[in-house]
Structure 1
Amino acid sequence: MKLLVIIASTRPGRIGKPIGDWFADRASQHGGFEVEVADLAEIALPLHDEPAHPMTGKYEHQHTKDWSARVDAADAVVMVTPEYNYAFNAALKNAIDYLNREWRYKPVGFVSYGGVSGGMRAVQMLKQVVTAVRMVPVGDTVLIPMARTMLGDGGFEPTDVVAQSADVMLDELVKLAEPLAGVRAAS
């Protein structure tokens, strides 16, 4: 089974990259998935620029075709997201909106970070969006409050609670990935 870890933050000075790298490493060590990282800062999707609606799957631009192939190949997804102004960032919404069928019937987990809320409000909003494209959010989330305090010379250094929450979420993704693969095949 393949897990796509999407690093959502694209701004200079972001802390999402070390958090995303930590989570991808943790997911690899977990052993439930083959892990691929999709860093939206590197992918650099322009604002949605396809003339046909995403439901058609008719893509003209190579960046869309490449993004489609990466998401389509995944059996599960984790979105590593900051909280900006009580929500998730525009780059992640844009990346979701580019596609439709590629997201369907895939379990999705969230690693969110921010100040005292740990990005909880971003996850609440994201759950509404991902269910609209028929993804299945797992109940367990990795919330990282005061995330900057966990950055060190070696990258992101989570508390034990944060690290353990990643394992719990990965266990849930594994439980859902195989049954939902069957749903995707049948639909």
Structure 2
Amino acid sequence: MNGDHRFGPLGFQLVLLRRMADHQPGLVEDARRELGVSIGEMREANRRWQAMVRSPRARGALSRYRSVLGEPEPSSRRRIGDLECDALLWRVPLWPDLRFEVLAAPGGAVWNEWLVRAPGAAGPRLRTEDDLRPWSCTVDEVARAFAPARPMEGSAPTRQRLAFTLPDGQECVAEFCWGLLQGVSRSRAC
């Protein structure tokens, strides 16, 4: 990746894009060009990431994120039900209004990892189906805008689905990859 053999933030962004290419190949192609990398470099970044994740000497997920992305922005303590965790955020240059968030249990076990709106950044106004454009919003933004939304199982660990009802009564399912909206489909039964 431009002669730099260290896997860092650029390589990580390519990993995010590689998974999103299944849903939004055109947006991924535009982003890849913006980053100045080839398809081969994107594939190589994904190969290196998978090797890090699957290596018998693999470090824990939280340690891996720190080594690849550097030190996070100041972390915060978050309570989810009866459980407390640390919420760590990293900048992702491709999406300046978003952060990559890792929720980690005491001891460092990672519970969740996805893109969220950056603190203080204004999210989109979501009122209709037309407002739900790919890459425009995150899981929590859609869930809040169309409450009560119902989480559904995704097709892979980095994918999430959310069932919700539009103001006109139409039921929909939103598909997310790494927490970022990829698309919405109308459904008769969610």
Indicate whether the TM-score tops 0.5: no
Which structure has greater strand proportion?
2
Which structure has greater helix proportion?
1
TM-score calculated relative to the size of structure 2: 0.26
Give the structure with higher Rg (CA).
2
Larger RCO, structures 1/2 (Cα 8 Å, 6+ apart): 1
TM-score calculated relative to the size of structure 1: 0.27
